[in-house]
Amino acid sequence: MPEQTRKRRPYAPRVPMAERREQLLDAALTIIDRDGYDGVSIDAIAREAGVTRPVVYGAYDGLGPLLTALLDRQQDRALGQLFAALPLGADDADPLAVVERAVPALHAMVLADPVTWRAILASPADVPDVVRERIEGDRERVRGVIEQLVTVVLGARAEQLDAEVVAHGILALLDHFGGLVLADPGRFTAERLSAAARSLLAAWLP
Amino acid sequence: MPEQTRKRRPYAPRVPMAERREQLLDAALTIIDRDGYDGVSIDAIAREAGVTRPVVYGAYDGLGPLLTALLDRQQDRALGQLFAALPLGADDADPLAVVERAVPALHAMVLADPVTWRAILASPADVPDVVRERIEGDRERVRGVIEQLVTVVLGARAEQLDAEVVAHGILALLDHFGGLVLADPGRFTAERLSAAARSLLAAWLP
DNA sequence: CCAGAATGCTACACCTGTGTAGTAAATGGA
DNA sequence: TCCATTTACTACACAGGTGTAGCATTCTGG
């Protein structure tokens, strides 16, 4: 009686590369959302996807390239969502209207795709270098857009302001409140945040 | 000829426990500042301090307790510096004066002890749980103080405002600009930040 | 001056992750 | 149907971190 009994791992369903790649990116994103960037490793991704490590190495050349691919994919989603939410066609130049439209739109945006946004908003500091650099770069792009938006919307008033500093401030606020909304949606509702922004801005305008 | 030639590591200077503990905390802080929280391990701390791991285990029961002790020490420094920088005795209730005093004080504060503040401001997300909880708790305390400060300083005007949201916002701004100052002191000077805060606030006041 | 306590070091067993070579199973076209 | 290709798995060697047992050295007080 040959002891062939050594249980062999059941074969994972065979899928073509393209699909496998997508599946691995999903697995990585799931891990990031559940365990943070610390939890991401080739091994963890393989386990999460129900395959073995060589399968992952077959699809990507390592953790760096895999995360880069993930960022490529999420970047489209995130920036697309974001630029859709920002009232960029706002030539009306009414600051109050801009804020009234942007705040609920952004609120809806993060809650509509919490996994993507948690990965971005909760990312900082010790993430793998590839990820860090990528997100930094995107932040800069967004900050530039905000800076322009501020300049345009505030028009003449803007001359008093340090637009770069203001843009940094706005982005910091979006960042922080985005995180709060994700962490505690019941406490930080769109209405509440809109009201706060409105009342601050209303008092500020002439 | 006995082959006693197997080089034995030269003994590190012998120090009493109390001093050794301080030295290990310093080593940990150095590593955090240089390599981020990712780089912190018992092994790395031992190397940085020029001793072997068992020495570290003799002083602390593991990485968690060591980092807790580090936080205990840094907490005093940081909160002491912070509450000294915030104009808490500001019964004069002049918002502009409060900001004019607070911004340069905070700016000086982070630059006076960059290691401590980088460890706090650049901490987020995936730090060991002990550290994360501790810093979160402190943030809440500080936010509470700011909330009160806002209420007091703005007086009657405060009734229009959502003090909690405003305090969150202010703390987010302090956080973010603190990081910017540390990253690029030449670009974000005390004067520039003061001017920006002053001009925003001046326009906002009646 | 010489125990014995205090302090530090070596060495080991264990864990988790990386990356790869070799092998086994599934699949699709001749 | 059957074989070549594609896809997946096993197994190994290596790297770095943890925690501990046991030995070596230094220092101090009697």
Examine residue A3 and state whether it is found in any structural domain, yes or no. no
Asked whether residue B14's C-beta has any atom of DNA/RNA strand D within 7 A, the reply is yes
CB A166 within 8 A of CB B196: yes
The beta-carbon contacts of B32-41 under 8 Å, at least 24 apart in sequence, are B32/B118, B32/B119, B33/B115, B33/B118, B33/B119, B36/A125, B36/A126, B36/B122, B37/A125, B37/A126, B37/B123, B37/B126, B37/B127, B37/B128, B37/B131, B38/A38, B38/A126, B38/B126, B40/B67, B40/B128
Domain-embedded: residue A2: no
Does residue A151 share a domain with residue A51?
no
Q: How far from B51 is each of B9, B10, B73, CA to CA, in Å?
A: 10, 10, 22
User: Domain containing A23 — which CATH number?
Assistant: 1.10.10.60
- For residue B7, give both structure tokens: 């080089």
Residue B23: both structure tokens together: 């030295």
Q: Which nucleotides of C are covered by protein (CB under 7 A)?
A: 6-11, 16-22, 24-27
Asked whether residue A86 falls in the same domain as residue A181, the answer is yes
**Are residue A84 and residue A50 in the same domain, yes or no?**
no
| Structural domain total, chain A | 2
Residue of A nearest to B165 (CA): A196
In a domain, B43, yes or no: yes
On whether residue B103 sits in a domain, the answer given is yes
Q: Which DSSP string do the residues of A169-204 spell out, in sequence order?
A: HHHHHHHHHHHHHHH-TTTS-HHHHHHHHHHHHHHH
CA A175 / C1′ D5 distance in Å: 50
Residues A100 and A171 in one domain: yes
Q: For the segment A161-175, what is each residue's pLDDT rounded down to a tens digit?
A: 899 999 999 999 999
**CA A30 / C1′ D9 distance in Å:** 24
Based on the fold, state whether residues A200 and A124 are members of the same structural domain: yes
Residues of A in Cβ contact (< 8 Å) with B172: 172-173, 175-177
Residue B145 lies in a domain: yes
pLDDT of residue A5: 43
Considering the domain architecture, whether residues B200 and B118 belong to the same structural domain is answered as yes
User: In this predicted structure, what is the pLDDT of residue A4?
Assistant: 39
Rounded mean pLDDT for each run of 10 residues along chain A, 206 residues in total:
56 88 96 89 96 96 93 89 80 78 95 92 68 85 92 76 94 96 96 94 74
Read off the pLDDT band of B170 (50, 70, 90): very high
What type of residue sits at position A179? Answer: G
Contact yes or no for A176 and B175 at CB 8 A: yes
Distance A46 CA to D6 C1' (A): 19
- Write out the residue range of the structural domain in which residue B28 sits: 13-60
**Same domain (yes/no): A77, A55:** no
Answer yes or no: is A134 within a domain.
yes
pLDDT score recorded for residue B201: 86
Query: Do A96 and A128 share a domain, yes or no?
Result: yes
B188, part of any domain: yes
Q: pLDDT at position A92, please?
A: 59
Q: Are residues B29 and B92 in the same domain?
A: no
* Other beta carbons less than 10 A from residue A20's beta carbon: 20
